[in-house]
Amino acid sequence: MSAAAARAALASLIAAASPAAGQVVPFAVAGDAIASPLAGLSGDAARGEAVVKNRETANCLICHSIPDPREAFMGEIGPPLAGVGARLTPAQIRLRLVDPTRMNPAAIMPAYHRVDGLVNVDPRYRGRPVLSAQEIEDVVAWLATLRE
Amino acid sequence: MIHRAVAALILAAGVAAASELRPSRDFLSPELRALQDDPSRHPGWLWVEDGEALWQRGERSCQSCHGGIGSMAGVATRYPAVAPDGALLNLEGRIERCRTQQQNEAPFGTESDALLSLTAAIAQSSRGLPMRVATDGPAASFIEQGRRFYETRQGQLNLACGQCHDENAGRRLRGDVISNGLGTGYPAYRLEWNTLGSLHRRLRACSLGVRATQFPLGSPEYLALELFLASRAAGLPVEAPGLRR
């Protein structure tokens, strides 16, 4: 096999192993946490920061503030995310992103990696979680760096 | 399932009692409140003036049956209301009925300038008067329907109206300060729209915000919801035409 063909084969293998962006991967909740990274993926903090700041997709800052003086008009519905990496473990952060109603049925924070049990979902988003497994891991990685 | 029933219960318990609700104007910035109060600087008054002109126009004018627009004082406080034939009508729906059944004209159409103008002029004649929609008799089942809609978590973001408008009223969602979501200021001139718009247009924006199905203007879902919002607002003043960001 040529090197190029080997690379292509490897790339398609990786693509096959990583979950499609539009689907929810299986996960196990223990206590108030999801211990294992979703689909065994590893997160990238820089990408996670971009996800959190994206006003079209995750839109976290509609409700939360982050310690970044360049961000204007941040919300005050959820707790400030400054220091969240010191308050919570990555496993606890993961559950709070995936589906906070698993710990508190009255949670206001949207479930970012869930498709079941939702009502009247806009057809454009039906059957798809807000964030993919990779995006969740990226956001977990970035929030874990917010230690003060 | 049990999960969701519990969530609904907790949510219901969290819905504020009417006495805790505050007029929408209380949540406006001082600048917007001043604009809302000043007809000479409030662009919504252009529609009010057009509506007052429409009121008098034609041989079979609104005025020919009802008298001057002043006779409409208090009407907006009682809408939406159930008509004798059982249909739930908001103010726009009532106007369209007069238009088609009494005036034998084609309906103006939802969100048309003419319908918004007449609605604004009629609602304006109740400005400051307390809301008091009928909640008993044939209205009761519509109110229940609206309440269920209000209390149901919806959309990909899985939020119920009250999670913002009861539990988080007064807090900032990005650049907005969340009000109690009463609807008493509609039709309202929204700077974001750069025009006057109906309550149902605003409701579609909230549905979109949680990535939920947007129901059509004038749909049964939003009509029942509008009645429920009006019943929540009992005793609070009509503010139409409102001024919003």
Chain B residues with beta carbon closer than 8 angstroms to that of A74: 172, 174
B28: left (phi over 0), alpha (psi -120 to 50) or beta: beta
To the nearest whole angstrom, how far is the Cα of B213 from the nearest Cα of chain A?
4
Chain B stretch 188-207, residues whose beta carbon is closer than 8 A to a beta carbon of chain A:
207
pLDDT at B4: 45
pLDDT at B31: 97
Could you state, in order of their start, the residue ranges of all structural domains in chain B? Answer: 25-38+132-244, 45-124
Q: Does B208 touch chain A (CB under 8 A)?
A: yes
| Tens place of pLDDT per residue across chain B (245 aa) | 344 444 444 444 344 454 589 999 999 999 999 999 999 999 999 999 999 999 999 989 999 999 999 999 999 999 999 999 999 999 999 999 999 999 999 999 999 999 999 999 999 999 999 999 999 999 999 999 999 999 999 999 999 999 999 999 999 999 899 999 999 999 999 999 999 999 999 999 999 999 999 999 999 999 999 999 999 999 999 999 999 99
As beta bridge partners, residue B190 has B195, B244
pLDDT at A22: 77
Nearest to A76 among B14, B157, B171 (CB): B171
Confidence band for A32, pLDDT divided at 50, 70 and 90: very high
Domains B25-38+132-244 and B45-124 equal at CATH topology level:
yes
Question: CATH number of the domain at B45-124, out of 1.10.760.10, 1.10.4030.10, 1.10.3210.10, 3.75.10.10?
Answer: 1.10.760.10
Count CB neighbours of B243 within 10 A.
24
pLDDT at B232: 98
How far apart, in whole angstroms, are the C-alpha atoms of residue B113 and residue B146? 27
pLDDT at A79: 97
Chain A residues with beta carbon closer than 8 angstroms to that of B153: 118-119
Chain A residues with beta carbon closer than 8 angstroms to that of B173: 62-63, 75, 77
Size of interface A-B (CB pairs under 8 A): 85
Q: What is the mean pLDDT of chain A?
A: 90
Nearest to A121 among B156, B171, B172 (CB): B156
Instruction: Give yes or no for residue A13 having a pLDDT over 50.
Output: no
Catalytic residues of B: 206
Instruction: Give yes or no for residue A14 having a pLDDT over 50.
Output: no
Q: Please provide the DSSP assignment of chain A as one string.
A: --HHHHHHHHHHHHHHHSPPTTSPPP---BTTB--SPGGG----HHHHHHHHH-TTTT-GGGT---S-TT--S---SSPP-TTHHHHS-HHHHHHHHH-GGGT-TT--SPPSS--TT--SB-TTTTT--SS-HHHHHHHHHHHHT---
Does a cis peptide bond (omega within 30 degrees of 0) precede residue A110?
A: no
Nearest to A106 among B10, B172, B208 (CB): B10
Chain B residues with beta carbon closer than 8 angstroms to that of A114: 158
Tell me the average pLDDT across A13-28: 71
Q: Does B49 touch chain A (CB under 8 A)?
A: no
How far apart, in whole angstroms, are the C-alpha atoms of residue B84 and residue B123? 22
Instruction: Tell me the per-residue pLDDT of A85-128, one tens digit each, with 9 for 90 and over.
Output: 999 999 999 999 999 999 999 999 999 999 999 999 999 999 99
* Inter-chain residue contact A120 with B6, CB threshold 8 Å: no
Q: What CATH code would you report for B25-38+132-244?
A: 1.10.760.10
How far apart, in whole angstroms, are the C-alpha atoms of residue B183 and residue B227? 10
pLDDT at B7: 43
Sketch out chain A's domains with CATH numbers. 3-145 (1.10.760.10)
Instruction: Give yes or no for residue A40 having a pLDDT over 90.
Output: yes
Nearest-Cα residue of chain A relative to residue B13: A106
